[in-house]
Amino acid sequence: MSSTLRIIIIFAIVTAIIGAATWLYNAGGVGTLNSIERQNNEAGEQSDRARSAYDVCIDGGRVWDFRSGKCAGSAQDRRD
């Protein structure tokens, strides 16, 4: 076997190994990125729901109880 053929074979093997390693690295990262994006979306939706509940409470003339995170009685009940 000539030295040129050996170099070509070694180059092909090294290239294949590097390509496979790169593909595996990227494939693993996609799953992690999707998981993080899903968590971020859920947190954003939860924040939107909480903000909406607060706005509805205040717009309805009621008082928001920050300790419980819920809408409490009317504003006049709190003043007495």
pLDDT, tens only, 39-76: 999 999 999 999 999 999 999 899 999 898 889 877 66
User: To which residue do tokens 């990227």 refer?
Assistant: 26
Write the single-letter amino acid at 35. S
- pLDDT value at position 2? 86
**Burial label, 27 (beta-carbon count in 10 A; 0-12, 13-18, 19+):** exposed
Tell me what percent of the residues of the chain surpass a pLDDT of 90.
56
**pTM of the model as a whole:** 0.53
